[in-house]
């Protein structure tokens, strides 16, 4: 009997650790009213839910991950929550975008020709310039708003989430765009927002093999594969060579630290050069913080890193959900 009870409690505690629920409420930062139908999700995944009529939500965190929780709603800036637990409800206050919307709409009325040009640049920089982008389409481009107060910088964002059909990789995507800037002077760009994968079209059996092949190609040499390999100290086996400015080859033991709770961080005082197999074009990982959190799904804190080279060319059309399972 004692063994049975012990086994039951062990099973119960295991289920709790792999099936924790996070609860919270979402409010308007200015009016303090509850926001209905706000999206609550883990960035870059299929995992998400909506707030109810009282602004409340409940979302499962099956892996017990520390991946940031994102809250997005129509007409608001998204909020990123990193400090959460199953034992304490999360209170979120979203900041509205309404002032900026009025400003952009008024400015855009007499700029139809320029908007057309801006959209071409936006698609190239946001979706990408590589093969997958040719089969990737933004279904609601009318919701993209441009600001015309600068002659050398294209600025854009969207009040409504962008719905993207990726026919190359077989995903429907929702992207909450907060900011986009592209310099016509030096071609530098920056965009900020959050992504949720809403449908996996691989259920279409006639295209299953096609999607699987394209996803595999998108994964190989990607930032996701790099961080997954870094997590298990398998850079070399995955085909990655990492070097510092002194041209020394580094393994995970030299650039990864782990804290008492098991979280891992990339830590290096200088930039890293990354090469995938024998490809001549390499990538450069530029550290913007002393250490950068990452986990076994391939997620990393994007605010702590800037990319140059091959990996910097991977855009929305090349992204995979963190649930993606790679099979050689």
The whole-angstrom separation of Cα 286 and Cα 292 is: 11
How far apart CA 301 and CA 288 sit, in angstroms, is 11
Which strand ranges, in their side-by-side order, compose the sheet holding 20-28? 56-61, 20-28, 90-94
SS (HEC) of 286-300? EECCCEEEECCCCCE
71 Rama class: left (phi>0) / alpha (psi -120 to 50) / beta = beta
Q: CA of 119: how far to CAs of 94, 115, 134, in Å?
A: 28, 6, 15
Count of residues in the chain = 328
259: Cβ contacts below 8 Å, ≥ 6 apart: 265
- The single residue listed with the structure tokens 């995938």 is 276
Where do the CATH 2.60.40.1120 domains begin and end in the chain? 2-94
| Superfamily of domain covering 2-94 | Carboxypeptidase-like, regulatory domain (2.60.40.1120)
Judge contact between 192 and 178, C-beta under 8 A. yes
Closest by Cα among 94, 118, 93 to 108: 118
Q: Would you give per-residue pLDDT tens digits along the chain (328 residues)?
A: 444 444 434 443 444 444 589 999 999 999 999 999 999 999 999 999 999 999 999 999 866 667 889 999 988 889 999 888 888 899 999 998 865 555 555 455 567 788 889 999 999 999 999 899 999 999 999 999 888 766 789 999 887 899 999 999 999 999 999 889 999 888 888 888 999 998 888 776 778 889 999 999 999 999 999 999 999 999 999 999 999 999 999 999 999 999 998 899 999 888 999 999 976 668 999 999 999 999 999 999 998 999 999 999 999 999 999 999 998 8
User: Which residues neighbour 211 within 8 Å (Cβ) at sequence distance 6 or greater?
Assistant: 169, 170, 201, 202
**Tokens linked to 254:** 């030299």
**Tens of pLDDT, residues 291-302:** 999 999 999 999
The predicted-structure confidence for 28-72, as pLDDT tens digits, reads as follows 999 999 999 999 999 999 999 999 999 999 999 866 667 889 999
């Amino acid at each position: 009997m004692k063994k049975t009870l012990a086994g039951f409690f062990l099973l119960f505690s295991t289920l709790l650790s792999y099936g924790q629920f996070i609860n919270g409420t979402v409010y308007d930062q200015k009016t303090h009213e509850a926001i209905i139908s706000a999206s609550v999700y883990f960035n870059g995944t299929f995992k998400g839910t909506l707030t109810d009529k009282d602004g409340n939500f409940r979302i499962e965190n099956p892996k017990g991950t520390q991946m940031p929780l994102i809250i997005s709603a129509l007409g608001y800036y998204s909020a990123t929550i990193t400090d959460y637990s199953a034992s304490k409800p999360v209170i979120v206050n979203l900041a509205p975008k309404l002032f900026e919307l009025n400003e952009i709409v008024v400015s855009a009325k007499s700029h139809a020709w320029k908007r057309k040009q801006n959209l071409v640049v936006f698609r190239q920089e946001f979706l990408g310039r590589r093969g997958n982008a040719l089969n990737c389409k933004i279904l609601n481009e009318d919701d993209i708003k441009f600001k015309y107060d600068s002659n050398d910088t294209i600025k854009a964002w969207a009040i409504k989430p962008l719905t993207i059909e990726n026919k190359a990789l077989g995903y429907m995507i929702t992207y909450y765009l907060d900011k986009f800037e592209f310099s016509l002077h030096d071609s530098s760009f920056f965009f900020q927002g959050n992504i949720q994968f809403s449908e996996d079209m691989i259920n279409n059996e006639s295209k299953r093999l096609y999607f699987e092949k394209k996803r595999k190609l998108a994964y190989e040499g990607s930032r996701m594969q790099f961080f997954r390999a870094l997590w298990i100290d398998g850079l070399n086996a995955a085909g990655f060579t990492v070097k510092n400015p002194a041209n020394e080859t580094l393994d995970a033991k030299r650039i990864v630290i782990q804290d008492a709770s098991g979280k891992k961080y990339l830590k290096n005082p200088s930039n890293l050069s990354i090469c995938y197999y024998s490809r001549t074009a390499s990538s450069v990982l530029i550290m913007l913080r002393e250490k950068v959190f990452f986990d076994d799904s391939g997620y990393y804190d994007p605010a702590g890193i800037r990319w140059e080279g091959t990996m910097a060319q991977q855009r929305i059309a090349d992204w995979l959900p963190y649930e993606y399972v790679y099979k050689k």
